[in-house]
Amino acid sequence: MITPRIKPSGFLPEEAPNDMFLLRHRKAKLEGYVQTLAAMDALIDFSSMAAAVDTACPRADRAKGGRPPYATEVLVRMVFLQGLYNLSDEQCEHQVLDRLSFQRFCRLDGALHIPDARTLWTFRQRLAQGGLGGKVISETLSQQLQQHGFIPRGGQMVDASIVQAPVTQANAKERETLNRGDAPEGWSAKRLAHTDRDARWTIKHGKAFYGYKLHGNVDARYKLIRELKVTAANADDGQQLPNVLQPANTRDKLLADRGYDSQANRQVLKARGLQDGIARRAKPGQTAKTRLNQRNRTINKTRARVEHVFASLAQQGGKCVRAMTLARNALAITLQCAAYNARRLVWLVKSSCASALTA
């Protein structure tokens, strides 16, 4: 852990207060604020998730020795907190140092050392290699969702949402060079290292956005993210449909907006045995749109539920990224989606318990 280069002050006391009534009162009040985090800790098996990560992303060779590594489960819990609260590595280190609830969640209460920002960065690099880490965490959580009884039901809802990234300052010629994968003339190695070569510009509703795009498949019953794919922002939504189809759902119907309306996608649905619920575009010169509009409204009454998921991700901080490559940003977005599913699981369990009590 990096020691802060500041002189000690009297702001923090050397000893904790010994007033037992005060400590119990604060603990009781704190438990009211961390109920969701405590429920996640009880419902999700992070040990099996860590074991899956170690299998898919083995640790580096430690034949030369060194300090014993932190447990993978501790690091998985910390990156999970990053996805849940949109924390950078430095912010996560600070929050775990400062917040008792985070220490308890990460199994670090009473520990002498905690993983620092550099350790978190190294672990995230390990997860991002080959795109395996985020996929394993997402799949393990998906299996646990089904073990709790929340299987994919009600049909599939597919949509895409833009995730913004820090804008790279470059003129049109330099941008074209970067898009080809080359280094612009006169750019230093440091400038290239701080430039995201995978993000792209796109136009939506007449406004320009720079970054990536999250393509998601959400089940209509529970509004849980079942499949996802991360691409550059300029990727066409409709072309990504085959990549986010869910193989198992209790209802064989797929709902999507007009951006997915193409003959190729309709053939994909037919080949997969899925009922076509894609909204239609008006044909060129078409004037009679009564039946078309009625069909689209019927589809959108249910399909609009997928927008609730993207809104929750935005509130969670999941509509922006800070890394520099597609692999690392795809990991960050996947962790944010996993954190959303965990929050949704807590709400679903709580709602089902409340329904059982009132029945």
Share of the chain above pLDDT 70, in %: 91
85 dihedral zone (left: phi>0; alpha: psi -120 to 50; beta): alpha
Reply yes or no on whether the pLDDT at 357 is more than 60: no
* pLDDT given at position 9: 58
Rg (CA), the chain: 23
Distance, CA of 81 to CA of 93 (rounded, Å): 11
Share of the chain above pLDDT 90, in %: 53
Q: Comparing 66 with 60, which gets the higher pLDDT?
A: 60
37, 82 contact by CB (below 8 A): no
**297: which 2 tokens?**
């409204």
* pLDDT given at position 239: 93
* pLDDT given at position 69: 84
Question: How does pLDDT run across 17-61, given as a tens digit for each residue?
Answer: 666 777 777 777 777 667 889 899 999 999 999 999 999 988 877
**258: which 2 tokens?**
């007009």
Question: How does pLDDT run across 252-292, given as a tens digit for each residue?
Answer: 999 999 989 999 999 999 999 999 999 998 888 777 788 88
First-last CA distance in the chain = 53
Distance, CA of 51 to CA of 41 (rounded, Å): 17
340, 225 contact by CB (below 8 A): yes
In one-letter notation, the amino acid at residue 207 is K
With cut-offs at 50, 70 and 90, classify the pLDDT of residue 356: low
pTM given for the model: 0.88
Question: How does pLDDT run across 188-204, given as a tens digit for each residue?
Answer: 888 888 888 888 989 98
Pairing of strands 156-164, 207-219: antiparallel
Q: Nearest-5° angle of CA 230, CA 233, CA 237?
A: 75
The residues that bridge with 157 in the sheet, in sequence order, are: 218, 255
Burial of 102 (0-12, 13-18, 19+ CB in 10 A): buried
231 SS3 class? strand
Q: Comparing 355 with 206, which gets the higher pLDDT?
A: 206
* pLDDT given at position 125: 92
Distance, CA of 83 to CA of 62 (rounded, Å): 29
